[in-house]
Structure 1
Amino acid sequence: MSVVVLATFQAKDGDERNLLNALRESVPEIHSEAGCDLFALHEEDGGRIILIEKWQTEELLEAHLAAEPVANLVRRIEPFVAADPVVSRLKAVPAGTSSQGSV
Structure 2
Amino acid sequence: MSVVVVATITPQSEHARAVREAVLSAVPQVHAEEGCERYAPHEARDGSLVMIEQWASPEALAAHGRGEPFTELSRQLEGKLAGTPELQVLSPVPTGDDAKGVL
Bin for the TM-score computed over the shorter chain: over 0.9
1:84 aligns with 2:62: no
TM-score by length of 2: 0.94
Partners of 2:10 and 2:28 in 1: CA distance: 22
CA contact (8 A) 1:30 1:36 kept: yes
Gaps of 5+ in 1: none
Amino acid at match of 1:51: M
Amino acid at match of 1:41: P
* Overall identity of the aligned pairs, in %: 37
Equivalent runs, 1:12-23 vs 2, <5 Å: 12-23=12-23
SS at match of 2:79: helix
**Structure 1 moving runs of 4+ over 3 Å:** none
TM-score by length of 1: 0.94
CA contact (8 A) 1:23 1:76 kept: no
Match of 1:47 in 2: 47
- CA drift at 1:90: 0.5
- CA drift at 1:70: 0.8
Amino acid at match of 1:43: E
